Structure 1
Amino acid sequence: MQRREVKIVGTGKYLPAVRVTAQEMDRRLGVPDGWVLKKSDVAVRYFAGTEKASEMGARAAEAALCSAGLTFTDIDCLVCASGTMEQPIPCTAALIQKAMGQGRSGVPALDINTTCLSFVAALDMVSYMVAAGRYRRVLIVSSEIASKGLNWHQKESTALFGDGAAAVVMERVSAGESSCILQAAMETYGDGAAFSEIRGGGSALPASLYEPSEEEHYAFDMNGAGIFRMASQLLPSFLDRLLAAANMSIGDFKLVIPHQGSAMAMRLLSRKLKISDEQLMYITPDHGNTIAASIPMGLHEAVKQGRIERGDSVLLLGTSAGLSLGGLAFVY
């Protein structure tokens, strides 16, 4: 059962209040003027100030419900699909529910986390439950605050990130509608686990053992070159298998919405994967890498800008810590 008769009926986005330009990042990182923009292609990103991830997620969720012409009472399940958590317990989805003023609703709330691919994984997994009739409508929210865990000594990776939230509402299609999920796949190669990690804060290095002399273990650690080498080796054949299973070619898609990671890596992989400039949804310059929120943000912007319409084929594609590869082909 790869084809699922479901559709996205609403999208929403939220960006936090603090607007940070590339010039400001140059000063924060202590690098020459123009360095951040050249390295990252991120002209503007947004950092959370006093906002919590649950509050950002709630605002994005409310925007998605509004665009769908729905209210929270129309929702049967709330899923937070994020790579960062507001706190270890409870799940962020429960905190989003509370931040929406629905803390007594009883609507089930759960998290799905595979870092940057969390939204794609959630869309894939939850769609089966919607298609099977377990839920009528599901609200999927990705809310990320990367800025609180950055390692400012790793200038190239720090230059990439921004904060923000995005959400979608999914429901079953009505008779005669063409919207559906065609095919999805995910592969994980644990040999690349050390390329992108935060070692501290879990059971291996609990927060109680934190020492200022070992703060690097509690901040984001990324080997961008290692990720790119591994992804560039694995992604072309992964995409070939996904497309073959869907009986499609890359040219069949109106739009490809990738994870908005490294701009240089995205350009190189786009050429390698034969994704044209017209097909590529690229929002990195005014958002940065917002982890799992980057793909649903790209989807929201694609809908808002009129780059996709009902009946268009769309491909979501990306990599995440693990190292994982993920893709999902659907008819919007």
Structure 2
Amino acid sequence: MGIKIVSTGSFLPNKVLTNFDLEKMVDTSDEWITTRTGIKERRISEEETTSDLAAKAALRALSEKNPEDVDLIVVATATPDAFFPSTACKVQSKLANKKAIAFDISAACTGFIYGLYVADSIMRTKGIDRALVIGAERFSKIVNWKDRTTCILFGDGAGAALLEKSNEEGILGFDLGADGAYGDLLNVPSVGSNEEFPFYIRMKGNEVFKVAVRTMVESSIRVLEKTGISPSEIKLLVPHQANVRIIKAVAERLKISNDRIFINVNKYGNTSAASIPIALDEAIKTGRLKKGDLVLLVAFGGGFTWGSCVLKV
């Protein structure tokens, strides 16, 4: 018995915030942002909540399925609608599903890969045949729009993957990790801390870059070794979409050529846990990935967390 991703879906808000728009808001420029990040624009949710974004992405992944048949809903998010109930429970309600186990995962930008691991593990050990793993974020609500070092980076969106039991193996292996000693590099405090509201993203960019590249490369090497797959066999690298320089540094160290990297950070910015499922959905829908292709997913996130996964689509 194997587990496969049988369909994907994504949803992006309609509002586009360009670098030229940001030039009017903070002391920055299109050239500065593009050179350092590769980002040209990002999407901003004006009314849709995180659960709205997640449910719309889920419905697109379920376009040929009945939402009532989903047994498990895992939502990876750092920007939930509420502390409780979970965003996953809200998504379950919006899908008119009455039977699914539903809960959230908080692993920042690595959340979708963590979610895949949890869903895969549960499906292999329990009587669950069908699971939705969703990455959804509304980072525009926790960005300090006066901080030019962070407000240029993030956007809103959601991506979803439907997993089913299969006669063939689709999820070939994982490597996951975390090191809380790096927690101060990228964080947002909350009600359990001693800090005063409002709570905004805080990031030490240079340090994040170094740790991100190292952990993503090391995790990728480990998962390829576990699965017995060489980098040359990977059809497409689908990395967390944080920064073009990080992505290309990782690919270079893995000896994966530019034509085998999927990049859409230029259009959407960093959508945290949503970035990999959005990118995976686009790669499939645009024909960059075809049945039988091997895919390497890899991410890092605040925590510090990291993770990688090899898929056969």
TM tier relative to shorter chain: over 0.9
Please report how far the alpha carbon of residue 134 of structure 1 lies from its aligned counterpart in structure 2 after TM superposition: 2.1
Q: CA deviation at 1:88?
A: 0.7
Matching residue within 278, 288, 311 for 1:297 = 278
Q: What amino acid is aligned across from residue 204 of structure 1 in structure 2?
A: S
- Which secondary structure state, in structure 1, belongs to the residue aligned with residue 259 of structure 2? coil
Residue pair 1:260, 1:284 contacting (<8 A) in 2 also: yes
Name 2:127's counterpart in structure 1.
Answer: 134
Residues 190 and 71 from structure 1, CA distance in 2 versus in 1: closer, same or farther, beyond 3 angstroms? Answer: same
Whether the aligned pair in 2 keeps the contact of 1:161 and 1:289 (CA below 8 Å) is yes
Unaligned 5+ runs, structure 1: none
Closer, same or farther: CA 247–33 of 1 in aligned 2, 3 Å: closer
Measured in 2, the distance between the counterparts of 1:128 and 1:32 equals 45
The amino acid across from 1:86 in the alignment is D
Q: Which residue of 1 aligns with 2:188?
A: 198
Distance of 2:165 and 2:185 partners within structure 1: 38
8 Å Cα contact 2:72/2:119 also seen in 1: no
2:34–2:40 Cα contact (<8 Å) kept: yes
CA contact (8 A) 1:23 1:34 kept: no
Alignment partners' CA distance in 1, 2:106 and 2:287: 30
Report the CA distance between 1:311 and its aligned residue. 1.1
1:77–1:107: 8 Å Cα contact kept in structure 2? yes
Q: Distance in 2 between matches of 1:52 and 1:236?
A: 34
Provide TM-score, normalisation by structure 1. Answer: 0.89
Q: Which runs of 5+ in 2 are unaligned?
A: none
Post-superposition CA distance 1:116-153 (Å, at most 9, x none)? 01110111121122233521101112110011111234
State how far apart, in whole Å, the 2-side matches of 1:122 and 1:255 are.
21
Q: How many residues align?
A: 313
Output the CA distance in 2 between the equivalents of 1:142 and 1:32: 30
Q: Using the alignment, how far apart are the partners of 2:242 and 2:216 within structure 1?
A: 15
2:238 is equivalent to residue 248 of structure 1: no
Match of 1:30 in 2: 27
Match of 1:109, SS state, is: strand
Answering whether residue 140 of structure 2 is matched by residue 147 of structure 1, we say yes
> What aligned pairs does 1:157-236 form with structure 2 within 5 A after superposition?
157-174=150-167, 177=168, 179-199=169-189, 201-205=190-194, 209-210=196-197, 215=198, 218-236=199-217
The percent identity for this pair of structures is 28
Instruction: Give the secondary structure class of the aligned counterpart of 2:279.
Output: helix
Deviation at 1:246, TM superposition (A): 1.2
1:4-42 deviation per Cα after TM superposition (whole angstroms, max 9, x unaligned): 711111111111121111211222223245333333322
Deviation track 1:67-121 (CA, whole Å, cap 9, x = no partner) reads: xx1011221111111222111111110111223344xx14221111201011101
What SS is found at the alignment partner of 1:121?
Answer: helix
Aligned to 2:87: 92
In the aligned structure 2, how far is the partner of 1:37 from the partner of 1:268? 16
> How far off is 1:230 after superposition?
2.1
Q: Which residue of 2 aligns with 1:43?
A: 40
Is it true that 1:58 corresponds to 2:48 in the alignment?
A: no
* TM-score (normalised: structure 2): 0.94
Q: CA RMSD in A?
A: 1.7
Query: Is the Cα–Cα contact under 8 Å of residues 39 and 156 in structure 1 kept in the other structure?
Result: no
Whichever of the two has the greater Rg, that structure is: 1
1: distance between equivalents of 2:271 and 2:255? Answer: 25
Separation in structure 2 between the aligned mates of residue 281 and residue 33 of structure 1, nearest angstrom: 22
Are 2:112 and 2:133, in contact at CA under 8 Å, matched by a contact in 1? yes
